[in-house]
Amino acid sequence: MDGDVLFIAFIVIVALVFDFFNGFHDAANSVATVVSTRVLSPLQAVVWAAFFNFVAAFGLGIHVANTIGKGIVETSIVDERVILSALIGAIAWDVITWRYGLPTSSSHALIGGLVGAAIARAGTGVIIGAGLERVSAFIVISPMVGFIAATFLALAVLQLYQRTAPSAVQGVFRRLQLLSAAAYSLGHGTNDAQKTMGIIAVLLFTTGHLGGEFHVPLWVILSAHAAIALGTLFGGWRIVRTMGLRITKLEPQDGFAAEAASAAAILFATQVGIPVSTTHTISGGIVGVGATKRLSAVRWGVAVNIVIAWILTIPASALIAAGVYLIAREL
């Protein structure tokens, strides 16, 4: 095996480590509401989420992987060092924000990393403006859609159960939340694992290991889903606390509304090929259900910190990745 192939294999492993961290950092958000409403214990919840993260490998398409692979930067300038720098930038930012319990987006960190490394290599001309614009717009759109959909769903549920005994309501929603959490983990698994798939596929394509046409091999699909599922299984409790307990206090019916609405938003984005942040979307959903009680029920201080971290993610990971690329180029 020659050195180039070994280097590519090493980068694929780094990409899967990123995916693992994505699960570690992000995926537990998808079960935060189940934990905060005490439907499942933290351990049961992460096992539940990890299972559906993996199952998402089957039958939900690869539109997001195609967007990441071909829609953000010109593939002609992508090489091993660009991909490695992008991954290091994204992982570094994920670790920093995880350390401080901030639920930022691994997805946007990866996109920021890719953009930063590409600019460091070949200037701003290689950025595909329309693709980056679409992704950037959805930084705002996805939490807003989560907020709107969760608000309407929470209001409908409130209307439906206004004359039902609270104990009966709790019983129904404790079960329904298992379904909404599963749907959310499915959405999370497919949208987030596809980002890693896109990165690995573009690496293989630009180094001539995919033949003449860009596609995502089956082994890449399965290994990306396995990595994110394992990450979910092993981590994320610190961020679960922020999402589920600190933004607003949740009842089982609120958790159901936030998750079902956010799951629908993620699956919609996946089908139209837009890489969105599950963290952003569930945050919008949680704020939405909190706001139907009263806006002051939402702890805005925490929400504002999260928004600041979101705004910083793409520039910060881009800067780190650009720095890493400039160092790697000299080696």
Partner 1 sequence: MKEVLLEVVLGTLTAAVAALVLVPIFVVLKLLLDAGLEVLFPAVVIFGLLLAYILRRETVGR
Q: How far is the CB of 41 from partner 1 (least distance, A)?
A: 22
CA 185, CA 206: separation in Å to the nearest integer?
A: 31
Q: Does 279 bind partner 1 (CB under 8 A)?
A: no
Q: How far is the CB of 172 from partner 1 (least distance, A)?
A: 5
Total residues at the site for partner 1 (CB under 8 A)? 36
Tokens of 14: 């780094």
Name the nearest CA neighbour of 50 among 15, 12, 24.
24
CA 202, CA 217: separation in Å to the nearest integer?
A: 11
Among 171, 219, 301, 308, binds partner 1 (CB under 8 A): 171
Q: Does 163 bind partner 1 (CB under 8 A)?
A: no
Site residues for partner 1, 67-96, by CB under 8 A, read none
**∠ CA 179-183-185, rounded to 5°:** 115
Burial class (CB in 10 A: 0-12, 13-18, 19+), 240: buried
Segment near partner 1 (CB under 8 A); pick from 119-127, 293-301, 307-315, 316-324: 293-301
Amino acid residing at 54: F
**Is residue 32 within 8 Å of residue 246, measured between CB atoms?**
no
Pick the closer one to partner 1 by CB: 10 or 300: 300
Segment near partner 1 (CB under 8 A); pick from 7-15, 32-40, 143-151, 192-200: 143-151
Q: Is 156 helix (H, G, I), strand (E, B) or coil?
A: helix
Interface with partner 1 by CB under 8 A: which residues?
133-134, 137, 140-141, 144-145, 147-149, 151-153, 156-157, 160, 164, 168, 171-173, 175-176, 179, 256, 260-261, 264-265, 268, 272, 291-295
